Structure 1
Amino acid sequence: MKGKIPYGYKLDSEGRPILDPEKAPYVAMIFEKYLNGISQMDIMKWLNEVGAHSPTANNEWKHNTIGYLISNSKYTGVGGFPPIITKEMLIQVEEIRRKSHKRYDNNYYTNSNGRNKKFCFTAKLVCAKCNRQFTSHRVGNGKTINKIHVWRCGNYIVNNMVQCEVAVANNDLEELFTEIFKKFFQNYEALERAQMGKCKNSVESNEDVVKIDLEIKDHLKTKNRSSDRIVELLQQRTNELWKTITLDDFKETTKELRKIIKSLDRAPDYFDAELFNRTIKQVTLYPSGKVTFIFLNGITIHSIYKEYSKRKRGKQYG
Structure 2
Amino acid sequence: MQPHVLIFVDNKDLTNIIARHLDSQLPPEYRDRGVVRHYHSGMSEEYLRQTHEQFVKEDGLCRILVSTSGQSVGVDFPNVKIVCTAGLPTTIVDGLQRAGRAARSPGQTALFVVFFDEKVLHISEREFTGDVQDPDRPRTKLTSNSDYLERAPLSGVHLVQTESCLRKFFAEYLDDKSPEAMLCTARFCCDRHDDGFSLEAELPNWLYRGAEFISESGISKGTQARYRPKYERPALDRLLMDWVQNMVAEDRLLRAPYDILSLAQRDKIQRVPFKDISSPSTIRQLLDETEEWEKEWAGKIFQIIHDYEPVRTGKPPVTRRKK
Structure ranking higher in strand proportion = 1
**TM-score higher than 0.5:** no
Provide TM-score, normalisation by structure 1. Answer: 0.24
Structure ranking higher in helix proportion = 1
Rg comparison, structure with higher value = 1
Name which structure has the greater RCO, CA cutoff 8 Å, separation 6+: 1
